[in-house]
Structure 1
């Protein structure tokens, strides 16, 4: 019993070390990105017609910190994924370690792709719709804090949602998920993705549709990739392939 407790404490200590390394990486990336935040700010608002207002001296600092934080999150994802891989790798077979290690660059690329989809496709569409509601009735003026809060709340979730296929592949490789389980959860997953789409988009059918379809496609892609990984996993273990 005592050996078991020491084993658990050892794992918790290692987990704490992995989390600490990830946090320190985030702080380092935040420090570097904050040094370039003015140039990044100018690029982000380059298509905005006019200037954003601030209501106090702390507003622009908040905006700069949010921009630096988003960049730092993106840069920290490979570090966090690698630390996670190092933590679970002792329980993996040598072949599984090599395969799962290859997922790490993909996580970063998919996160950037998700942010790009949110920023270049979804955000302009939603902003245009909301501005059209005030046309001829209100004088439109945006504060920097409100503008960036709205932007980040809209695009950041897509960075994480676009990682769904690789996360599913990773969990399938570990044996935590399988394509049958994902297929059975399709209805509940669809409902959850539709709710997410409705919550983060304006109350019109077109916006909901344009956001929902990519998320559903991502889920179906996740199931297909899970099948591929699952079959390879069974073949490597010399187990019979199930019907799917």
Structure 2
């Protein structure tokens, strides 16, 4: 009986110890880097990303809303715009601040999402994103500049001239800003094409031969995208689609260079 009592006490102590360790693990915060991170903890990290993104958006929204009367005249220089009532002024300010706030917050939101996703990526993917992030930002700004300095003035002038042949054209401030965003922001995303292609090549889903074989289909897809985001005239379509085609051809050339370097490395390793 004495031996049995000792065994029972040992089992009871072991059970209490195991429960204590289990409770400690449950209370301990598990980082996304650890393999035993639970769904609740991932959702908590995602919540943190959303909160930081909202804070950044609110900061940009407030700055834009408070300063819009100072910088907006430079965007509309040379254009006679109207508003159709006092409430439309407030609506225009809110919409403009919201749209630009989202655009300016986008790089920060992408960075926060990158921090959230990084533990689930392999080393090669992490290294690729780190090395190409500055290029992505440069292409983002280049796309906005192309839309603002090329596509927007050309298409706006063309459409206004066409309308003035038969009508008195009156453009509201809200319509002008909507047109400005439509002819600039999409190009910030379209100009990411080379980075997307390089990433697909990096994970071995795409090579230069495939890109050559599907070239015509890609051109057709680019024309469809252009028809959706650009004003409905042939001249503007050609101006819009031309840099996309150039970017695709540059992507093929860069992929070829990377393939040649990879073959050289493999040949050197075999020697």
Does the CA contact (< 8 Å) of 2:128 and 2:199 recur in 1?
A: no
Shift of 1:214: 0.8
How well do the aligned residues superpose, as a CA RMSD in angstroms?
3.3
Shift of 1:45: 0.5
Where do 1:50-199 residues align within 5 Å?
A: 50=80, 52-90=81-119, 91-93=121-123, 97-173=126-202, 175=203, 177-179=205-207, 182-199=211-228
3-state DSSP of counterpart to 2:164: coil
Does the CA contact (< 8 Å) of 1:115 and 1:156 recur in 2?
A: yes
TM-score when scaled to structure 2? 0.71
Q: Distance in 2 between matches of 1:84 and 1:171?
A: 20
Distance 1:124-1:166 versus aligned 2 partners, 3 A rule? same
Which has the greater radius of gyration? 2
TM-score when scaled to structure 1? 0.78
Q: What stretches of structure 2 of length at least 5 have no aligned partner? A: 1-34
Q: Tell me: higher relative CO, structure 1 or 2? Use CA pairs within 8 A at least 6 residues apart.
A: 1
3-state DSSP of counterpart to 1:102: helix
Q: Name the residue aligned to 2:57.
A: 26
Shift of 1:218: 1.8
Does the CA contact (< 8 Å) of 1:114 and 1:159 recur in 2?
A: yes
Shift of 1:132: 1.8
Give the number of equivalent residue pairs: 233
Q: What stretches of structure 1 of length at least 5 have no aligned partner? A: none
Shift of 1:87: 2.6
Shift of 1:98: 4.4
Instruction: Note the alpha carbon deviations across 1:38-58, whole angstroms, 9 max, x for none.
Output: 12211110132x3x1111223
